Amino acid sequence: MKKKTQGLFASAAMVSVGVLPAFAATQAVPPAPSKHDAAGTWAFAHENVLGTSLDMNVSAASKAQARSAEAAALAEFDRQSKILSAWDANSEFSRWQKTHGVAVKVSPDLMDVLARFDAWQGETGGVLNASSEAAAKVWRGAAARGASPSSNELDGAIRAMAQKHWSLDRVQGTATRLSDAPLVLASFTKSLITQKAAAAALHAGATGVMLNVGGDIVTSGALTQRVDIANPKADAENDAALDTVVLRDRAIATSGSYRRGFDVAGEHLSHLIDPRTAQPAAAVLSSSVIAPDAATAGALATALSILSPRESAALMQRHPDSAYMLITRDGERIASAGWNAYAEPKIERVAYAVHAGAAVPQAGSNWNQSMELLVKLELPRVDNPRYHRPYVAVWIEDKDKYPVRTVALWFKNPRWLNELKGWYGEDRVRNLAEGTDISATVSSATRAPGTYTLKWDGKDNNGKLVKAGKYTVVVEAAREHGGHTLLRQEIDFNGTAAQMTLPASEELGAVQLDYRKQ
């Protein structure tokens, strides 16, 4: 999913998920339980979990059992956050970080995280470093000034990161803070907590569970999961996935430099810092790691996004039970030998030659294939504990109001699709009657608050180019316990670039339309 997240545990991971069996798209769609609440799989979604969004699929003997597992997982997230959050001034980690040179008795959970971080820092040759924030501050300052940092600033950050930041006494159960460098345990800690939450759900009676926290995914027990990995060079939510893997009792984490970072003197730089040089990582756009547990997947994914591909290959030789895929800055795809064991076979599209004598459209009559439409929309964050993610539809109508293309359809339960009154009335009913319903191939799960970009390439639902001319872009959003928004904007798709912004509403922020050259 392509969205902005914030908070201690925010991640650059970009993946989407779907339970097997499912639609061809990559939404998480649980099998419908019977009237007697028989065994099945249920989907849950929550916001503001570890500073990001949580999607959860739970297989259980009954819906009541699934609810109990959901509650157990959420309780574990809350418990761990109170211990490890750097944003909560009252958390155990925040209180301990303010000490210096004093042996402090810490909880087993905090001791475990600090000890694991030590181990992974050594395993990655210092690349996984809790004090990388020292260098990040330097680069944020440089971005604010619009000029690269000085060598003195970078040298100071390297010295700060090279310090020993704590010492542990496992026998006495104490941790001593040794440096003043700011510490962030972010992505590694998020992965570890997610694994513990999955274990809590299984202990509460789930037979299988999938947790997706800001793009880091854990599958445990009897549940198989399809995971789409976004192409780091793609710029739209509905662009084709780079790869699809199928997981069971495994975790996957994806890290990368392609979404977050610093803009310094006109250059976009990665938010991931190499502690050895204090320089933003540059060789790798994204790295995905499949491992037996989430902590391993998270640690390795971060490291592989900073190391060179050659260094990454050497590191992964010591982890033969894990698989990885890298996308380099030059667009090269590098996958380990074990990656294909998880990859879902791709269906290649076949190109057909046009027979001599076939009718050829007149020049200029069809959509200009050098152009595309980008639809950028925002789902506002609503401060409401009963928040339900909105159902959203984006489609294109011709001059007769016929829906030639459904660009996106985000929903959870088909039973409530009729809440999207505009799309359901004009597209769903007509296409069902004509036997041309395509909702299963364009639909996917509801989205968390954030900003998303969709792309229309000028093709109809059958994959054929439409004629050039005027069409109406329609964006609709409806939310349980919320409002309903329907926006319509006519655009002349004649090959001349155009941009416009539709006003914000209760359910949608400002919607930007950009008809542009590809």
Ramachandran bin of 410, using left for φ above 0, alpha for ψ from -120 to 50, beta for the remaining angles: beta
Q: Please classify residue 366 by burial: count the beta carbons closer than 10 Å to its beta carbon, then call 0-12 exposed, 13-18 middle and 19+ buried.
A: middle
| Rg, the chain, Cα only | 24
pLDDT at 53 over 70: yes
Amino acid at 18: G
Planar angle of CA 96, 100, 101, nearest 5 degrees: 120
Look at the pTM and tell me if it is higher than 0.85: no
Contact 51, 194 (CB under 8 A): no
Alpha carbon of residue 473 to chain centroid: 26
What is the C-alpha to C-alpha distance for residues 291 and 288, in angstroms, rounded to an integer?
10
What is the C-alpha to C-alpha distance for residues 150 and 418, in angstroms, rounded to an integer?
58
- Count CB-CB contacts under 10 A for residue 426: 17
Q: What is the pLDDT of residues 161-216, one digit of tens each?
A: 999 999 999 999 999 999 999 998 877 788 999 999 999 999 999 999 999 988 88
Six token digits for residue 91 = 């958390």
Query: What is the predicted pLDDT for the residue at 235?
Result: 67
The secondary structure of residue 281, as a DSSP letter, is P
- Count CB-CB contacts under 10 A for residue 46: 17
What is the C-alpha to C-alpha distance for residues 304 and 251, in angstroms, rounded to an integer?
16
Run of H or E including 167: strand 166-169
Name residue 104's beta-bridge partners: 175
- In the chain, the percentage of residues whose pLDDT exceeds 70 is 81
Contact 256, 287 (CB under 8 A): yes
Closest listed residue to residue 234, CA positions, set 214, 256, 261 = 256
Helix (H, G, I), strand (E, B) or coil at 19: strand
Alpha carbon of residue 223 to chain centroid: 20
Amino acid at 118: D
Average pLDDT taken over every residue of the chain: 82
Q: Where are the domains of the chain?
A: 371-517
Q: Buried (b) or exposed (e) across 461-482, using 16+ Cβ within 10 A?
A: beeeebebeebebbbbbbbeeb
What is the C-alpha to C-alpha distance for residues 431 and 424, in angstroms, rounded to an integer?
10
What is the C-alpha to C-alpha distance for residues 61 and 69, in angstroms, rounded to an integer?
11
Q: Write the CA distances from 464 to 17, 39, 367, 372, integer angstroms.
A: 28, 42, 10, 14
What is the C-alpha to C-alpha distance for residues 474 and 422, in angstroms, rounded to an integer?
9
What is the C-alpha to C-alpha distance for residues 145 and 260, in angstroms, rounded to an integer?
18
pLDDT band at 257 (very low <50, low <70, confident <90, very high): low
- Which segment, 9-23, 43-57, 203-217, 356-370, is predicted with the most confidence on average? 203-217
Mean pLDDT value of segment 96-122: 95
Q: What is the pLDDT of residues 113-160, one digit of tens each?
A: 999 999 999 999 999 999 998 999 998 888 888 888 999 999 999 999
What is the C-alpha to C-alpha distance for residues 81 and 84, in angstroms, rounded to an integer?
5
Pick from 108-122, 337-351, 357-371: least confident: 357-371
Indicate the angle between helix axes 294-306 and 186-203, nearest 10 degrees.
160
What is the C-alpha to C-alpha distance for residues 164 and 148, in angstroms, rounded to an integer?
28
Check whether domain 371-517 has CATH 3.40.50, yes or no: no
Half-sphere CA count of 413, side-chain side, radius 13 A = 13
Query: Which residues touch 265 (CB under 8 Å, ≥6 apart)?
Result: 146, 147, 148
What is the C-alpha to C-alpha distance for residues 149 and 195, in angstroms, rounded to an integer?
38
User: From start to end of 4-114, where are the E strands?
Assistant: 15-19, 40-49, 52-60, 103-105
pLDDT at 358 over 80: no
What is the C-alpha to C-alpha distance for residues 364 and 362, in angstroms, rounded to an integer?
6
Pick from 12-21, 43-52, 483-492: least confident: 12-21
What is the C-alpha to C-alpha distance for residues 299 and 423, in angstroms, rounded to an integer?
43
pLDDT at 31 over 60: no
For 193, list phi and psi in degrees, rounded to 5.
-65, -40
Mean pLDDT value of segment 247-268: 81
Helix (H, G, I), strand (E, B) or coil at 156: helix
Six token digits for residue 425 = 């009335």
Sign of torsion, CA 450 20 75 177? negative
Mean pLDDT value of segment 408-422: 75
Amino acid at 113: V
